């Protein structure tokens, strides 16, 4: 039986070479110590993703779209991401882009590179106060029962993986915002903080540097007939459906 793979990819530092939020948006944050403190609090589970995002946006000063766009123009995608997309297109595998980042810069980069993907992320709002652009975030893909995530990657993964049809979820990520969703995926590709989390929590994962590593591993697993449902993840997905 051939399995239908569903890929769920983080954006910052996964599809992009850099964490765009830290690399481009944080250029408008002068108080670097406060920024690092907020990031550390999030990584240590002291504050939620929503609190982290709102606190970081409050630190943004002298924001300018022209400057921001020029920073974004220097951001690059993973060298092998287009090859990965072609592989998925040829196999009719869906790719979902999941991010705690903001729609403005994600859409800017997707448009720049001519990429059309289903994407789920937080929404950037702006208002002008005393001539200064103030950034805020809205969370259209939050979970009503979970106040931790701004954008529930777990929910998107569960809602778009049909166990009855033999669909296999593949999650690809690198950071703290990927921790939760990695528990619910059949196959996990991890690097950075996510790899540490998976290792500590006994979640089977494959380490990767780029999408070439992911492609090679998926092809190998396919050849060896080792693409299968992870029972623990399947049970967790079922628990969520049953309201557990």
Which residues span the domain enclosing 154? 4-18+80-103+141-241
- DSSP string covering 100-156, please? EEEHHHHHHHHHHTT---EEEEEEEEEEEETTEEEEEEE-TT-BTTBSS-SS-HHHH
Instruction: Look at residue 242 in the predicted model and tell me its pLDDT.
Output: 82
Instruction: Look at residue 2 in the predicted model and tell me its pLDDT.
Output: 63
On whether the CB atoms of residues 88 and 1 are closer than 8 A, the answer is: no
Number of structural domains (the chain) is 1
Look at residue 153 and tell me if it is in a domain. Answer: yes
Instruction: Look at residue 84 in the predicted model and tell me its pLDDT.
Output: 98
Look at residue 89 and tell me if it is in a domain. Answer: yes
pTM here?
0.96
Cβ neighbours of 157 (radius 10 Å): 26
Look at residue 54 and tell me if it is in a domain. Answer: no
H or E segment to which residue 4 belongs:
strand 4-10
Look at residue 145 and tell me if it is in a domain. Answer: yes
Look at residue 128 and tell me if it is in a domain. Answer: no
pLDDT digit string (tens) for 127-142? 999 999 999 999 999 9
Look at residue 23 and tell me if it is in a domain. Answer: no
pLDDT digit string (tens) for 43-75? 898 999 999 999 999 999 999 999 999 999 999
**What span, in angstroms and rounded, lies between the C-alpha atoms of 13 and 155?**
21
pLDDT digit string (tens) for 35-45? 999 999 998 98
- Detail the DSSP E strand segments found in 31-117: 94-102
Cβ neighbours of 147 (radius 10 Å): 13
What value does the mean pLDDT take over residues 100-105? Answer: 98
Look at residue 163 and tell me if it is in a domain. Answer: yes
Average pLDDT, the chain: 95
CATH of the domain at 97: 3.40.50.1000
Instruction: Look at residue 128 in the predicted model and tell me its pLDDT.
Output: 95
Look at residue 59 and tell me if it is in a domain. Answer: no
């Amino acid at each position: 039986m051939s399995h239908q793979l569903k890929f769920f990819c983080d954006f910052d530092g996964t599809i992009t070479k850099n964490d765009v939020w830290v690399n481009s948006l944080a250029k408008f944050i002068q108080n670097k110590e406060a920024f690092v403190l907020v990031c550390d609090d999030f990584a240590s589970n002291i504050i939620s993703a929503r609190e982290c995002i709102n606190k970081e946006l409050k630190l943004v000063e002298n924001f300018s779209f022209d400057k921001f766009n020029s920073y974004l123009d220097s951001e690059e995608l993973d060298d092998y991401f287009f090859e990965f997309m072609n592989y998925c297109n040829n196999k009719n595998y869906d790719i979902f882009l999941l991010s705690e980042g903001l729609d403005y810069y994600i859409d800017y980069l997707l448009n720049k590179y001519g990429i059309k993907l289903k994407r789920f992320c937080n929404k950037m709002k702006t208002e002008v106060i005393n001539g200064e652009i103030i950034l805020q975030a809205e969370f259209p893909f939050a979970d009503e029962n979970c106040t931790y995530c701004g954008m529930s990657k777990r929910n998107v993964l569960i809602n778009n993986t049909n166990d009855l049809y033999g669909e296999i979820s593949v999650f690809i990520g690198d950071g703290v915002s990927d921790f939760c969703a990695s528990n619910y995926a059949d196959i996990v590709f991890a690097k950075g903080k996510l790899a540490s989390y998976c290792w500590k929590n006994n979640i089977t994962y494959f380490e990767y540097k780029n999408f070439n590593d992911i492609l090679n591993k998926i092809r190998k697993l396919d050849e060896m007939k080792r693409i299968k449902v992870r029972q623990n993840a399947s049970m967790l997905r079922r628990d969520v459906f049953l309201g557990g």
